[in-house]
Amino acid sequence: MKYSSLVGLWVCFMGFIVFGADIYVSPTGNDGNDGSIGAPYATLTKARDAADLVKGSGPVNVWLRGGTYYLTAPVQFNLANTGTVTAPITYKSYTNESAVISGGFKVTTAWTTTTLNGVTVYTTNIGTNKKVDQLFLNGTRQVMARYPNYNWSQILQGNAADAITIGNNAANEAEGPGYIRTLHNGGWGGQSFYYTGASTYQWVGDNNRGGGMNNNRMVENIIELLNAQGEWFYRKSTGELWFYPPTGTNMSTATIELASVTQLLRFTGTSGTTNNSVKYITFYNVTFTHAYRSLFDSTGQFYELVTGSDWGIVRKGAVFMQNAENIKLDHCAFDQVGGNGVFMSGYNNHNVISNSVFRSTGASCVLLMGLRSSIRCPNYWIQPAGNTLANPACSDVTPGPLTQDYPRNCVVYNNLMDTLGLFEKQTSGVVLSATEFDTIRHNSMGHMPRAGINFCDGCWGGTVVDYNWVYDVVRETSDHGPFNAWGRDRNAIAGSGNRAATYYDARNPTVVCMNRFEVPAGMFGIDLDDQASNYYQEKNLVLGGGLKVQWTRANKYINNITTATNNGNVQFHGTWGSAAQPSDHYGARNIIYATSTCVYQFCCGSNPTQVAGTQTKWDSNLVYSTAGTPNLSDWNNCTSNTYTFAAWQTAGLDVHSSIGNPTWTNTSQTWPGRTPAYLPVGNYNPTNTTALNTLRFQTFAMDSFGIIGVEPGIIPPNTGVIGKTNDISDITKAVTVHYSAHLLSVSFGGSYQVAITSASGRTLATFNGEGRSEFVLEPKHFGFGIYFANVHTKNGLVTKRFMVVK
């Protein structure tokens, strides 16, 4: 361990100059060393304990030298390890090196070939009763033996109605154990099971609504199913591991790793107060990978049935926080973790997840979930036997939470969430429940089975969701949209006749503004489902879908653009309210653009007179249909029970609205300086003069959605002062690296050599270049994954991270 000089961080306090400390750790170090740069420690736990000894003297930097840190248990941070506002503790990759924290272990035993199920596979023995459920070949996740075979484009990445029959024919389904993964019979999430014996299985989880299976089914982790390239199986009773590698794999040089640990870092204080919280710890520019699939951890015993939403969860994450404050993850990568990425559980305050990449995540990327103990009169679905919403008697009318066991003031900012929900289907980029005053801003998230951003309940509002880009959602489930919310709390318990109950739990408005939501055909855009109330929605661009008003109150729809296809642009589903107990809904200055004539639709007994009678105010909108004169109809049916637009206006709605083509500015527009792959195309602001001048529609920026400031997949390495003299920030700025469509571009004022390495540190290719050079990375060698470009120049080495995506 070495104390920094004056060039390092220092704090002047009470007349004394206080210096921070530098601690070094390396996968090739030794915990018997002194923690200096020349004699680093070997483990994060040793470095953590060393930081405790010096943290009172100022900021502490724990430098992680390059390589993979294989864990056998989570690294735990508790009150003894906390930092302070003047002496924070930061763990970060050493400049131009890449630190990887792994929940797996490397296979080092020798491989031989054998014949299995009619194909030639490799086999080795890694020992009995190992906890493993993912195999990685040179840093890329492979496929657990399954039926039907893997197909990315399909539900469950391959499904067949006879899958369970095939699984039941295995010799010993419990050996793996084997798993059955399917969907809820209504498509509202997943249904997962594990085999307990011959053709017998037990429910694991993946939704909160009970119900049976639909016909989208698959089975996995059964040896008889291993017959396709990339598949593997581990027999725990004998220790045998079988792997059918892709063509061209050199198993004598390949790196094979197996996921074993579910949680990598845990920040846990003792109770939900500032004094009892672990705090002021940052992880910067670190990769987290090889985390076990938490849904199947200990055969599902951790699956929790939260509140009254459709969702259940595993209260775990690769990084877990509870009773934590000012914990920050910045410029980090979550690479192919098997469960959730970051889980903030119970009391959390001022935590930040920023500028990070979540790639190929098994469940959700970031969750902010209070404990049920914080909710007054929690509502819930009976599970798994029935489908009945349990409405407990509730006499508590005090607004807000019962305890402090919930997140607040946390920030999820500028993150790329690319491909998630691979193993759990009731998942999203960001999930919130029993939380307050958070910020979800400038995130890009796509390729997922369900909603992009999901609120499980209305507790307790105050969150701002803005400048996000959500796309390619609801790939595998149904009846949802890129933004989804439920409000099945005291609002639902009290029922439609109690307007005051709206604000018992949703006591603050939730703001949803300046987002771009892209919607599959027939799905909702902003789906405010059962009793989701007190949402303020302004200046959102909703492409392919529209807005939903359902058994809710006090929702505002202002200055949004919707372009629904094959569905109504605004759907009124049994709105609550009457003259005595009005719904307090308000919608104005929206652009409502449809490809079907039924621009508005109704459900559950609604009609124009009923909507107006609930005191729903809807006016001064621009309405247009490409199919002809706009009209109104029943839910999901544009051909019967229709109403004319004039009947709608006669009821007192859209009285001052206009019918006319908005005429978009330029739906093909791109913006200089932004990578097209990570910035959506198109300026959908209207040029219609009636919309702009008479209805006072306000145009809004179309180039500000999603991540900004840092190129996704190319995460800048840490730069700055190291010790006394190693400031290499100039060379770092002089080298630029950009990756797109299997083409790597490198720029530097001189000659250089580029070595491409995997996340585990294996060199995959080398190139020589000068000035600006481009190199083709062949798809067969560079699959979906995170890689590092190590640029060797005469001025030093620069390492930059990039990601190969679909």
Please give the structure tokens belonging to residue 35. Answer: 């923690």
For residues 651 and 511, membership in a common domain is answered with yes
Record the tokens describing residue 166, joined without a space. 């095939």
Strand-strand pairing, 444-446 and 416-420: parallel
| 324 plus 453 within the same structural domain | yes
At 670 the pLDDT is 85
Could you tell me if 308 and 387 lie in one domain? yes
CATH number at residue 754: 2.60.40.3080
- Please name the residue ranges forming H helices in 614-753: 645-650, 689, 729-734
Copy the structure tokens of residue 298: 């200990």
DSSP string, 89-125: EEEEEPTT--EEEESEEE--SPPEEEEETTEEEEEEE
| Residue partners of 153: CB distance under 8 A and separation at least 6 | none
Residues of the chain with pLDDT under 70: 1-20, 299-301, 382-392, 567-568, 636, 673-678, 709-734, 740-741, 759-761, 784-785, 794-796, 805-806
Mention every residue, 6+ apart, whose C-beta is less than 8 A from residue 275.
none
**Whole-number pLDDT of residue 580:** 87
- Unique residue bearing structure tokens 């771009």: 516
How many independent structural domains does the chain possess? 3
**431 plus 513 within the same structural domain:** yes
Contact 773, 745 (CB under 8 A): yes
Quickly list DSSP for 426-472: S--SEEEES-BS-EEES-EEE--SS-SEEE-S-SS---EEES-EEES
What is the per-residue pLDDT for 5? 32
The Cα 376–Cα 541 span in angstroms is 35
Question: What's the pLDDT score for residue 57?
Answer: 78
Q: Are 756 and 787 in contact (CB under 8 A)?
A: yes
Q: Is residue 545 part of a domain?
A: yes
Amino acid at residue number 560: N
Give the end of a domain, one of 38, 72, 103.
Answer: 103
Rounded to whole angstroms, the Cα distance separating 17 from 86 reads 13
**Would residue 90 count as lying in a domain?**
yes
Residue 172 forms part of a structural domain: no
pLDDT of residue 340: 98
Q: Measured in whole angstroms, how far is the alpha carbon of residue 706 from the centre of its chain?
A: 14
Looking at the structure, tell me whether residues 370 and 456 fall in a common domain. yes
Q: Please report where in the chains the tokens 């000068």 appear, as a residue.
A: 770
Backbone phi and psi for residue 22, each to the nearest 5 degrees, phi listed first:
-110, 130
State phi, psi for 175 to the nearest 5 degrees: -60, -40
- Of 623, 644, 659, the residue at which a domain comes to its end is 659
pLDDT per position as a tens digit, 357-372:
999 999 999 999 999 9
Backbone angles phi, psi at 69, to 5 degrees: -100, 100
Q: Report whether 474 contacts 520 (CB < 8 A).
A: yes
Same domain, 640 and 761: no
Examine the domain organization and report whether 655 and 761 are in the same domain: no
pLDDT the model gives residue 567: 67
Please say which residue of 659, 687, 715 terminates a domain: 659
Whether 142 is covered by a domain: the verdict is no
Q: Is residue 455 part of a domain?
A: yes
Instruction: Please check whether residue 546 is in contact with residue 569, taking contact to mean a CB–CB distance below 8 angstroms.
Output: yes
Residues 779 and 645 in one domain: no
- Cα-flanking dihedrals φ and ψ of residue 726, to 5°? -90, 50
Domain containing 93: what range? 2-103
The b-or-e profile of 53-76 (16+ CB within 10 A means b, else e) is: ebbebbbbbbbbbbbbbbbeebbb
**What sign has the CA pseudo-torsion 170, 174, 176, 180?**
positive
Whether 630 and 753 share a structural domain: no
Say if 316 falls within a structural domain. yes
> Is there a single domain that holds both residue 748 and residue 629?
no
- Condensed to tens digits (0 to 9), the pLDDT of residues 467-497 reads 999 999 999 998 889 999 998 889 888 888 8
